[in-house]
Amino acid sequence: MLFELLFKIRLSKKNTQNLKKEVMDYKIRPIHTDEIYLLNDFIYEAIFQRDENNLLPRDVIFKPDIWIYVEDFGKKPDDLCLVAECDGKICGAVWTRIINAFGHVDNDTPEFAISLYKEYRGHGIGTAMMREILILLKEKGYKQTSLAVQKDNYAVRMYKEVGFETATELEEEYLMICKL
């Protein structure tokens, strides 16, 4: 079952300076109720920011079109969230909910959000989390899931790798769907 999967990843020498390990153990599990507040951090981390030297203020998450991803999370029956835990610390989250937001398709399709803290990106944790939540969504009877992503976001490649396909191409972003 997906709830106690353990993974190991090898880090490049460049990143071992930050994490102080060559091999990192992590597990993917459902979020606990007392951890839901962490989604406030993860929704900020999920915002694609092209200019690392001119980041948006953290309170941008309270804009209605962003806050909808985390507001009262866990109170709707379609709210699902998995987290990655590294050395006892939550380092990433992937969650879905049926909302009318950037990646809205219809009222039966959960929209996808994912993020990791910067120092954990690029090592397969995000891909592993995505694969596990796709399995969970399928087990729960969903037919598809969706997301919106800026065209120049490096994550587009990861989304395609796990099965998302472009459904609509807008001026600056893609609306992507993954059939389950």
Each residue of 126-144: pLDDT tens digit? 999 999 999 999 999 999 9
CB 145 within 8 A of CB 96: yes
Q: What share of the chain is helix, strand, coil (3-state, %, to 5)?
A: 30, 30, 35
- What is the architecture of the domain spanning 2-142? 3-Layer(aba) Sandwich (3.40)
Determine the pLDDT at residue 122: 83
Domain ranges of the chain: 2-142
Burial level of 59, CB count in 10 A (0-12/13-18/19+)? Answer: exposed
Report residue 173 as tokens: 């972003």
Look up the pTM and report it: 0.84
Residues 6+ apart with CB under 8 A from 56: 47, 49
Each residue of 151-180: pLDDT tens digit? 999 899 999 999 999 999 999 999 999 999
